[in-house]
Structure formats: C-alpha cells, structure tokens
Amino acid sequence: MAVPFLVGIVAVLCGVVLWRLGSAWWTYRGRRVVTCPETRNPAGVTVDSLHAMATALGRPQLRLESCSRWPEKAGCGQECLSEIAESLESCLVRNILLEWYVGKACVSCELPIGEIPLVGAKPAVLCADGRSMEWSEIPAESLQETLLEARPICFACHTARRMLREHRELLSGLPESTVRPAH
C-alpha cells in the first residue's frame, strides 16, 4: 500500500478524533441551571467538559465540575445529570440569556439589543435594585429569578453607568477637603 495513502488515512482518522473530542468539549462547556432533584429549587452547575471530552471516543461520561450547593452537598448522587443530558442547550445560562434579550431594547438608550455576538461585548442586565450586572456576575441559581424583574441594558449604557458609579465611590472615599471645590 502506498505510503501517501496510509498518511491520508491517518490524517482523516486524526481529524475525526479531534472533531469528536472538540465537539464533546463544546457541547458540555458553560454554566447551566438545573432543578436540584433534592430541593426542587434551581441550582447552578457546570459539567466537567474536559472529562466529557476525554471519554468522548466512547459514550461521553458526565460528571459535575461544580454546583452552587457544594461543598455542603458535594457527595450527592448528581442525579441532575440526567436533566442536563435531556436539555443540554436549553439549560445553558448563555442560551437562557440570549432568549431573554430577543425583541428587547436597552432600558436606558432605547436602542434595540439586536444580535448578540458569540465573543466580545455583550449587553448586561439591569437588576431590580438598580445594579447593572454582566452575565458572569449573575449566579446561575438565581438567574431565572433575577431575569423576572430585570431589564436589558446595552453594553455602552452598562459601561457608562458602571464608570459613573465607580467614580462616585472613588470620590466619596476621598477626604472632604479634597472633594470640596477650591474657592
């Protein structure tokens, strides 16, 4: 058998293996919201995507990497994994947020939120208490509850709002003589 043919076969096989490992990692990455089978309340979890990737050449083995109920419940049976397997995409925090923004406009500038890029600047969430939070700052276990009363805010308005708040905090931390205008 010709050497180039064998090299070609090996290259194709390597490509298939890499694709399979990569797609397993992509499928199981990210924060998710599940209903804890024990409490019936939301819990924030992440699946060990590297372990799923490492076992992807057979049937990927799922195990949790983190849970908002840990460390107290770290020894649980991880029964929520079956819920994750059934709703892989719909329980992803990212997908829940993407759906929430559909058809909404920024509460501050009133411009439509529009398409949200996969990477880069994303809109934020203006919570009921007036704080604007980035996606990573919202605990997954309270995401649904937060979104119920929150309003969307675009990245530019969120950044401006945050800068104003931080500078106000900075100024309020200075001695009064420094803040007081000169006569």
CB of 148 to Zn ion, least distance (A): 21
Q: Which of 17, 109, 128, 179 binds Zn ion (CB under 5 A)?
A: 109
Q: Hey, what amino acid is at 174?
A: L
Residue 133 or 157 with smaller CB distance to Zn ion: 157
Residue 52 or 106 with smaller CB distance to Zn ion: 106
Segment 135 to 154, residues that bind Zn ion, using CB under 5 A? 154
Nearest to 111 by CA among 165, 147, 158: 158
From CA 153, how far away is CA 145, in angstroms rounded?
Answer: 17
The terminus-to-terminus CA distance of the chain in angstroms comes to: 93
Q: Does 125 bind Zn ion (CB under 5 A)?
A: no
Q: 79 φ, ψ to 5°?
A: -65, -20
Binding mask 44-73 for Zn ion (x = CB under 5 A): ------------------------------
Nearest to 141 by CA among 60, 50, 51, 73: 73
What contacts 142, CB < 8 A, 6 or more positions away? Answer: 42
Binding mask 87-106 for Zn ion (x = CB under 5 A): -------------------x
CB of 137 to Zn ion, least distance (A): 18
Residue 57 or 109 with smaller CB distance to Zn ion: 109
Q: Does 157 bind Zn ion (CB under 5 A)?
A: yes
Residue 148, both tokens: 């119920």
Q: Which residues bind Zn ion (CB under 5 A)?
A: 106, 108-109, 154, 157
